[in-house]
Amino acid sequence: MLNTRVTAFFETRLPIVASGLQWLATADYAAAASRAGIMGFMTAASFPDLPALRAGIRRCRDLCEGGPFGVNVSMLPKLVEGDRAEAIFDLIADEGVRFVETSGRNPEPHLPCLHAAGIKVVHKVSTVKHARKAQALGVDMVEIIGAEAGGHPGMALVGTIVQAALAARDITIPLVVGGGIGTGAQLVAALALGADGVLMGTRFLVAEEVWAHPAYKRRLVKAEEADTMLVMQSLRNTVRALRNETTERIQAIEKETPGNLAALMPLISGKLGRQAYETGETQTGMLSLGQSVAFADRVEPMARIVERISDEAVNALQRVNRLSGSWERITERPPEL
């Protein structure tokens, strides 16, 4: 057990957060993470309506067997007509969920009601600047993702190792870092940099509890770290996704006519991605994927993935401990002249 502010915050065995994944982070996914001793978030946007979300929350609570879980609420950058974030937060509070992971726009308007309901708010951002702002607003924990992350790594595209070291200087609330992280050695490295835990999403896509088609998972097992690409930058909404026919076409359109949303819409539809998860046809759809796919080397239960990460962390700590003599020599003061 690695005791950090993250394990104390969530009451978990390891300081690992299984991030919300669009379409895939269901009750089964979040509960499997919880039972394995880490924190899991199911994704509100993966449910077609509020009654389905309520049913999903109740199923997750039953499957967690008393363990922690939360709900990810990804908000659009700007409030638009038909936005259902407020209704989702009300439902989450009504169901007694203890943790919420927010991303997208500023969560400040929702913080008073969420905190009044006893809900801890974890806000996910892509820069240290935004983490500082979230801390000032009063969120309870921040997650910072680097350029290596799947999904939306932001426009600045600063690597995780730099983000972690910078954030540790002045983020005083619990700090989680993610992006390209998929091993226990990286967990130990993040803690050494000053983070309190790590965020993983891509690493868990090959978990048996993720409902996606077996052919999709087999494609991920074969994937390498260079099998992702960045798209949607011309729309200032960067996405890191699996390199396939769809993302190659998106990139070509962006090069020819930057910012042409009308031309891109048929390719970037979330329904297209969901269809790929259902059919296993991985050449179609913008399928969010981080560079840590290189570590997703087999399909197995979530608990086994977490145990492998735990073993890797132990091995990494042992390697560091073997250097203790070297550290002592480095810190020795020279004799007085």
Q: Is residue 250 part of a domain?
A: yes
> Which of 163, 185, 204 is where one domain is finished?
204
- Provide the domain limits for residue 140: 5-204
Q: Is residue 21 part of a domain?
A: yes
Do residues 71 and 129 both lie within one domain? yes
Do residues 159 and 32 both lie within one domain? yes
Do residues 231 and 183 both lie within one domain? no
Confidence (pLDDT) at 84 = 87
Residue 105 backbone phi and psi in degrees, to 5: -90, 175
> Which of 262, 279, 296 is where one domain is finished?
279
> Which of 231, 264, 279 is where one domain is finished?
279
Its pTM stands at: 0.93
Q: Which two tokens stand for residue 41?
A: 């978030």
Q: Which two tokens stand for residue 220?
A: 């991920």
What are the start-end ranges of the H helices in 202-284?
214-222, 245-256, 261-268, 270-279
Do residues 101 and 219 both lie within one domain? no
On whether the CB atoms of residues 144 and 102 are closer than 8 A, the answer is: no
R_g (Cα) of the chain, nearest Å: 20
Using alpha carbons, list the distances in angstroms from residue 287 to 84, 107, 223. Answer: 24, 26, 13
Confidence (pLDDT) at 63 = 98
State the sign of the Cα–Cα–Cα–Cα dihedral 188, 190, 196, 202. negative
Do residues 108 and 79 both lie within one domain? yes
**Where on the phi/psi map is residue 207: left (φ > 0), alpha (ψ -120 to 50), or beta?**
beta
Do residues 51 and 191 both lie within one domain? yes
On whether the CB atoms of residues 307 and 194 are closer than 8 A, the answer is: no
Do residues 108 and 17 both lie within one domain? yes
Q: Is residue 196 part of a domain?
A: yes
Residue whose pair of structure tokens reads 């499997």 in the numeric block: 32
Crossing angle of the two packed helices 184-193 and 302-321, in degrees rounded to 10:
50
Using alpha carbons, list the distances in angstroms from residue 237 to 1, 254, 299. Answer: 38, 12, 31
> For residue 151, what are the β-bridge partners?
240
Half-sphere exposure of 266 (CA within 13 A, CB side): 3
Do residues 258 and 198 both lie within one domain? no
Average pLDDT by stretches of 10, the chain with 337 residues: 93 96 95 98 94 98 96 79 85 97 93 97 97 97 97 94 97 98 98 98 98 97 97 94 96 94 90 92 95 98 98 95 71 60
On whether the CB atoms of residues 151 and 201 are closer than 8 A, the answer is: yes
Closest CA to 305 of 180, 203, 181: 203
Q: Is residue 170 part of a domain?
A: yes
Q: Is residue 132 part of a domain?
A: yes
Q: Which two tokens stand for residue 281?
A: 């046809």
Q: Is residue 326 part of a domain?
A: no
Q: Is residue 319 part of a domain?
A: no
Q: Is residue 285 part of a domain?
A: no
Q: Residue 12 and residue 66: Cα distance in Å, rounded?
A: 11
On whether the CB atoms of residues 257 and 249 are closer than 8 A, the answer is: no
Do residues 74 and 159 both lie within one domain? yes
Residues sharing a CB contact under 8 Å with residue 2, sequence separation 6 or more, in sequence order: 14, 15, 187, 191, 313
Q: Write the CATH number for 143.
A: 3.20.20.70
Do residues 225 and 256 both lie within one domain? yes
Do residues 111 and 162 both lie within one domain? yes
Q: Structurally, how many domains does the chain consist of?
A: 2
Do residues 221 and 78 both lie within one domain? no
> For residue 133, what are the β-bridge partners?
none
